[in-house]
Amino acid sequence: MRSYFDDFSLYIHIPYCASKCAYCDFLSFSDRSTMRAYFDALCAEIHLRGKEVARKVNSIYLGGGTPSLAAAYFPMLKDAIFDSFEVEKDAEISAEANPESVSDAFIEAAQAFGVNRVSLGVQSLSDPLLKRIGRVHDRKTALAALSRLTNAFPSVGADIMVGLPSESDADVRETIKTLCDFPLTHLSCYGLILEKGTKLYAEAKKGVFTQDEDETANRYDLACELLANGGFERYEISNFARDKKVCRYNTSVWQYADYLGLGLGASSFLKKDGGFPARRRKNTRDLNRYIECAGKARPTTQIIEHEEGKEEFLMLSLRLTEGVDVLTYNALFGGNLLSEKQEKLSRLAPFLEISDRKIAIKPEYFYVSNSIISDLL
């Protein structure tokens, strides 16, 4: 896999959705009455940060929320970004979309923006499951959206979930086999996490359904097998790509590259002159305050010192199948990783691939990666 350690990326948060899904704890709203005022504030912030951070941009990620709902504001967003930052000619520009809002207007606006990668929130192709988790779209809408997107963009991916209430192995098989018939370049597969404050979390607490973690793990293994049969290669715990067409933005984040988050609640990571101390910044999550301050509300800042940076680097890199680049670690932190972690690496050796150049979790142990990473740190 190519190294994106030296990349600089922009993450743009668009917090509007058609409705709130039963599993979602993301910062998003179904009330779109503030959308125009939000984009005015967002563009003001982009202009402001562009003066502060003069760096060439290698990738842009429009996330949410549901960016495909905001196609009418893509022209002003593009102008703000390209007026404020130097964007690399072959930059990856990704946009998230949901099937119900894949319209002619979205496709035309995204193409005019320069979007060359779309990630579609499918989650499942079972109508009963989609209804159960509060999705607005149905199977037919998802398939139509996939057909339109794969004809309009060079790279299209889909997001799916396993471990949903009432889900069966047959549901997972049918969803993945159908998706593999499309010329998709990317697929993200996530196990359901019951997040506090969500509808499904409340239902589980009341005993409406029980989440079986072993069953979810087995379904995830099934998904990995089906994706491999469909030509997808796993490159990160939850992400799979055909023809090595990984998501550059996400991969750069896992490789500890710098990124600037713009918009409500967006996070940034910026190293000092390529090293430490680094800064993690986070914008306000208060929508009214963000709009009232016209993008000038100061983000909260956390200073990341040398030792904390080492742990972050390992934690993020070990999510990748290629694992930790030992030489990059040694150059960045001025140490010797294999010597520093010799005792722990020896103890964890059955779960790891270890060489002079890399440390990686063996794929069959990805589902318990959190425990392995915790033990190594």
b/e burial code for range 186-198 (CB count within 10 A of at least 16 → b):
bbbbbbbebeeeb
The yes or no reply on domain 308-377 and CATH 3.30.56.10 is: no
Predicted pLDDT of residue 318: 96
CB 211 within 8 A of CB 204: yes
CA dihedral 318, 354, 331, 315 (to 10 degrees): 20
Flag whether the pTM goes above 0.85.
yes
Which pLDDT score, from 0 to 100, does residue 364 have? 87
Closest CA to 14 of 130, 86, 88, 106: 106
The pLDDT of residue 278: 92
Give the span between the Cα atoms of 261 and 128, in whole angstroms: 36
Q: Is 119 helix (H, G, I), strand (E, B) or coil?
A: strand
Residue-level pLDDT at 39:
97
CA angle, residues 199, 204, 205, in degrees to nearest 5: 100
pLDDT of residue 212: 87
CATH class of residue range 8-251: alpha beta
What pLDDT sits at residue 54? 87
Domain with CATH 3.80.30.20 in the chain: 8-251
Separation between Cα atoms, residue 31 and residue 19, nearest integer Å = 8
Give the pLDDT of residue 229: 97
pLDDT of residue 297: 83
What is the location of CATH 1.10.10.920 in the chain? 308-377
Query: Exposure pattern of 26-64 as b/e (b: 16+ CB <10 Å)?
Result: bbbbeeeebbeebbebbbbbbeebbeebeeebbbbbbbb
Mean pLDDT per segment of 10 residues, for the chain of length 377 residues? Answer: 92 95 91 96 96 94 96 98 97 98 97 98 97 96 98 98 95 98 97 91 90 89 96 96 97 96 96 85 95 88 93 95 95 92 94 95 89 93
Checking phi first, is residue 262 left (phi over 0); if not, alpha (psi -120 to 50) or beta? beta
Q: pLDDT at position 122, please?
A: 98
Cα(79)–Cα(220) distance, integer angstroms: 41
Tokens read off for 153 = 């963009």
**Conformation bin of residue 197: beta by default, left when phi > 0, alpha when psi is -120 to 50:** left
Looking at residue 214, what is its pLDDT?
87
pLDDT of residue 295: 77
